[in-house]
Structure 1
Amino acid sequence: MEPFSPLNWFRRSSSQASCRTALSSQPSLEAAVNEVAAALAGGSSADLALVFASTHYASDLQRLLPLLQRRLKATHWLGCAGGGVIGTTAKGNASELEKEPALSITMLQLPGAILKPFYLETQSLPDLDGPAQHWQEWVGADPFNARSMLLLVDPSSRSINDLISGLDYAYPTTTKLGGIAGPHNAPHGSLFFDDRVVMGAVGCSFGGDWNLEVVVAQGCKPIGPVFAIEQVQKNILLELSHENQRDSPMACLQRVLDDLSEEEREMVRHSLFLGIERRDLVLAGTGAPQPQGAFLVRNLIGVDPKNGAVAVAEQIRAGQNVQFQLREAEASRQESELLLGAARERNTSPPLFGLLMACLGRGHGLYGVPNGDVHIARKLMAELPIAGVFCNGEIGPAGGVGATHIHGYTACWGLLRHDPSSSEPAKSV
């Protein structure tokens, strides 16, 4: 039985869900705050305010939340700085503002939600070999009221992979979405929490009647066959096999290149990656395997011409499957349309809000035109309010479910839905 809360009961009976957004590209922080505050003036207090600001304002970031809180009311404030900002104006126009000053504000009123914001100092983490309860106490979020989780990490943080692994360990059924904030030269962090700018990590768990449905689009197309890893040393591939033929990774890649078009071979010069299949992994604590064919795309970081070995930006092991990948705009469009379209078809009601954590390598650099990912989402969900940030690493599960990873060149979407039918009742304490 869910613990009785007069506030939650009142909200369920009398409040309506709402999402109010504002976006500014004013060159000064104070002018940007004035513009978004004027656009949002007159609205009721929000349960959660999401704030995304360009690192162009880095020297002024410590003034941002106090300035906003003088004009706008919200119970919780959360966000980060990034190399670019994604937002929606009060008139409903969604944009990706890259490499320019920008401030995006989203005010969410979520009746029936159980929200638990948290701030984590990450100089030392709980023991990954200790009880999961230690991690849960450190975060402060009840796993029975955490259906999904937003996680934002400062770029100065160490052991980010261990942090993500620990959160998966402590919250095995909670889907996680987020990103690594943008770096800057000012002597403070890149994360926003309540009225402060902080380092470490910040986030919020979503429970009760609300859930963030996560969609991860990696923007690559596979080339060549799926190879099995036969020999490996840490992150260095030494030997691959396909159809009982073993060879060095470079020899395998050469055979793949022989079957490509001239245009694809040119793309290999700057857009070649390796996909590592995750189907053999099991999410800790659930017994549920990852979906078959879910590839985690990783950079190729070095080649040994003497033996044809290849270094990969990921720890790998013998027995895993891999496939070479090309980052390509049309493949990214098709993948995003397929995944977001499937999310739309799975649900009878549209999401209230779309959170987008996108790689700095996407945007105009990938699509050749502005607003590439936003336009894809708006093509499928025309009225969707969208906000987010361009990250230095995107956080989400490969294939949309299962264990959480840091991605590159990826668009990680969180579709915020009112979904009371599938919420689990909280345990009494």
Structure 2
Amino acid sequence: MNDPFPWAHATHPDWRMSTALCLAQIEQACRRGAGARATLGLLYLTDHYADAAAGILATLRERTGVTHWVGAIGVGIVAGAAEYIDEPAMALMLADFAPGDFQVFSGKSPPPARDARLPDGRRAAWTALLHADASTPDMAGIVRDMAGKLAGGRLFGGLSSSRHASTQIADEILAGGLSGVVLSENVAVAGRVSQGCQPIGPVHRITAAQGRLLSKLDDEPALDVLLHDIGAPDTLSAPGIVDTRPPRAMAGEPNNGPPAARGERAATVQMLQGTFVGIGKGEAFVRGDYLVRPLIGVDARRRALALAAELDAADHVAFCRRDRQAAQADLVRACTELRDAIERGHGGMQAVRGMVYISCLGRTGTLFGGPSAEMQLIRKQLGEVPLIGLFANGEICNDKLYWYTGVLAAFL
């Protein structure tokens, strides 16, 4: 059995000290026999180290002998059960993929062609770890296009949350666009996505929609279906648009009707403000990889809903809640499904050599209960596997760009 990938993480105001601490951890792992044949380094830095990123990369390359590196810079990173948010920190991992089984790519170096084959006949472009600049236009379209360039069609990764222009690492420090590493069919990767929420009702078929306006579900007015699913009274019968964004956006809404009616209406609006909408094709709800977008308004006269996403590519929706209980339960679900798949296909979690976790920066804080609670929950579910990653401004799994999710990927 192959050894786990050597990995390390550290925090210190001086990047040189953090780098030295990480290298000491890596060297200790190498003395135990791991990492001797490393060919690819994964590196995540908080943006406190953005100005020193080139120096960090050069030092790691020199001290480890590993030439190829990929990663990203963000406001926060993860490593094991630890979360480093808005503090100087780094995390790295060394993989020993065969040289022909991976290729670092960026705007300066294209990935292998979709139909490229290795000498053993297997596909050279099967899956990819992808990092991107969040300011790049039409990133959702770019992600779909990139997935189409892979014979396996599978991506995982995220958009940098860095406050600096240089946001990516692909054998050098880069700004803009996307980069990462393409992996061949010989590299086994298993993954799951956690939505951070749970459905509160059944999946409904879209029967009338245009753009971002959802008019009918299962041939019934969409607002009526929503109110039924969330158990809210219909206090929105008066004509008009109701804004369901956060309360600060509601300050200018007129209060019509007697005090009792205003109270009931306010209670319904508050329930709507905590509601999100899962959208996608029918089978996506079985796999749990549907998109979740906010509900931004309702049209009480037309009994329609306005979503923060185009509905042209979706044919089903499910209304969801996002709170601590739902987030914890869904992360446990994703971890359980991933662990079960690894045990069925690879004999157990001992087959995991390393993991990458990309979580949304918006999931930090109190959503999971406090500092590092998200990573501690993953550690409890999956054990002490080598794991590093990034808090992102958007998460990538397969051919979709997500918000507010966590993407787990295990190298086996």
**TM-score over 0.5 for the alignment?**
yes
Matched, 1:273 2:309: no
Cα gap change, 1:338 to 1:265, in 2 (>3 Å) = farther
Spell out the pairing of 1:335-350 with structure 2 (5 A cutoff). Answer: 335-345=330-340, 346=344, 347-350=346-349
Q: CA deviation at 1:269?
A: 6.0
Spell out the pairing of 1:360-379 with structure 2 (5 A cutoff). Answer: 360-379=361-380
Matched, 1:359 2:345: no
Spell out the pairing of 1:42-121 with structure 2 (5 A cutoff). Answer: 43=30, 44=36, 46-88=38-80, 94-110=81-97, 114-120=101-107
Any idea what the Cα deviations from partners look like across 1:298-319, whole Å, max 9, x if unmatched? Answer: 1223444554443323221398
Aligned partner of 2:244 in structure 1 is: none
Any idea what the Cα deviations from partners look like across 1:167-191, whole Å, max 9, x if unmatched? Answer: 222225232101001131x4x3200
Q: Any conservation in 2 of the 1:214–1:414 contact (CA below 8 Å)?
A: yes
Cα gap change, 1:306 to 1:61, in 2 (>3 Å) = farther
In structure 1, the gaps of 5 or more residues are 1-14, 89-93, 123-133, 282-289, 398-403, 418-429
Cα gap change, 1:196 to 1:268, in 2 (>3 Å) = same
Q: Any conservation in 2 of the 1:230–1:319 contact (CA below 8 Å)?
A: no
Give the Cα–Cα distance (whole angstroms) in 2 for the partners of residues 318 and 114 of structure 1: 34
Q: 1:255 aligns with which of 208, 216, 228?
A: 228
Give the Cα–Cα distance (whole angstroms) in 2 for the partners of residues 112 and 164 of structure 1: 25
Q: 2:293 aligns with which of 286, 289, 298?
A: 298
Give the Cα–Cα distance (whole angstroms) in 2 for the partners of residues 311 and 411 of structure 1: 25
Q: Any conservation in 2 of the 1:48–1:76 contact (CA below 8 Å)?
A: yes
Matched, 1:34 2:34: no
Cα gap change, 1:291 to 1:258, in 2 (>3 Å) = closer
Cα gap change, 1:197 to 1:293, in 2 (>3 Å) = closer
Q: Any conservation in 1 of the 2:44–2:73 contact (CA below 8 Å)?
A: yes
Aligned partner of 2:242 in structure 1 is: none
Give the Cα–Cα distance (whole angstroms) in 2 for the partners of residues 75 and 63 of structure 1: 14
Give the Cα–Cα distance (whole angstroms) in 2 for the partners of residues 393 and 301 of structure 1: 19
Give the Cα–Cα distance (whole angstroms) in 2 for the partners of residues 310 and 407 of structure 1: 21
Q: Any conservation in 1 of the 2:156–2:407 contact (CA below 8 Å)?
A: yes
Aligned partner of 1:178 in structure 2 is: 157
Q: Any conservation in 1 of the 2:128–2:183 contact (CA below 8 Å)?
A: yes
Which has the larger displacement, 79-88 or 217-226?
217-226
Give the Cα–Cα distance (whole angstroms) in 2 for the partners of residues 52 and 318 of structure 1: 34
The normalised TM-score by structure 2 is 0.78
Aligned partner of 2:207 in structure 1 is: 230
Q: Any conservation in 1 of the 2:112–2:125 contact (CA below 8 Å)?
A: no
Q: Percent identity?
A: 24
Q: Any conservation in 2 of the 1:229–1:317 contact (CA below 8 Å)?
A: no
Question: Which residue type is aligned with residue 241 of structure 1?
Answer: L
Q: CA deviation at 1:112?
A: 8.3
Aligned partner of 2:217 in structure 1 is: 241
Cα gap change, 1:259 to 1:189, in 2 (>3 Å) = same
Q: Any conservation in 2 of the 1:150–1:205 contact (CA below 8 Å)?
A: yes
Structure 1 SS opposite 2:356: strand
> Between Structure 1 and Structure 2, how many residues are aligned?
365
Q: 2:171 aligns with which of 153, 175, 194?
A: 194
Cα gap change, 1:135 to 1:259, in 2 (>3 Å) = same
Cα gap change, 1:265 to 1:361, in 2 (>3 Å) = farther
Give the Cα–Cα distance (whole angstroms) in 2 for the partners of residues 293 and 49 of structure 1: 31
Q: 1:316 aligns with which of 299, 302, 311?
A: 311
The normalised TM-score by structure 1 is 0.75
Q: Any conservation in 2 of the 1:87–1:104 contact (CA below 8 Å)?
A: yes
Task: Show structure 1 runs of 4+ deviating over 6 A.
Answer: 138-143, 264-267
Question: Which residue type is aligned with residue 276 of structure 1?
Answer: I
Which has the larger displacement, 369-378 or 406-415?
369-378
Structure 2 SS opposite 1:354: strand
Give the Cα–Cα distance (whole angstroms) in 2 for the partners of residues 121 and 112 of structure 1: 20
Q: Any conservation in 2 of the 1:272–1:327 contact (CA below 8 Å)?
A: yes
Q: CA deviation at 1:54?
A: 0.7
Q: CA deviation at 1:219?
A: 1.7
Give the Cα–Cα distance (whole angstroms) in 2 for the partners of residues 396 and 405 of structure 1: 6
Q: CA deviation at 1:111?
A: 5.2
Give the Cα–Cα distance (whole angstroms) in 1 for the partners of residues 150 and 106 of structure 2: 16
In structure 2, the gaps of 5 or more residues are 31-35, 234-263
Any idea what the Cα deviations from partners look like across 1:298-348, whole Å, max 9, x if unmatched? Answer: 122344455444332322139812111111222232232233223223231
Aligned partner of 1:129 in structure 2 is: none
Structure 1 SS opposite 2:161: coil
Q: CA deviation at 1:297?
A: 1.2
Structure 2 SS opposite 1:374: helix
Any idea what the Cα deviations from partners look like across 1:402-429, whole Å, max 9, x if unmatched? Answer: xx11111111000110xxxxxxxxxxxx
Give the Cα–Cα distance (whole angstroms) in 1 for the partners of residues 404 and 365 of structure 2: 12
Aligned partner of 2:183 in structure 1 is: 206
Give the Cα–Cα distance (whole angstroms) in 2 for the partners of residues 362 and 120 of structure 1: 30
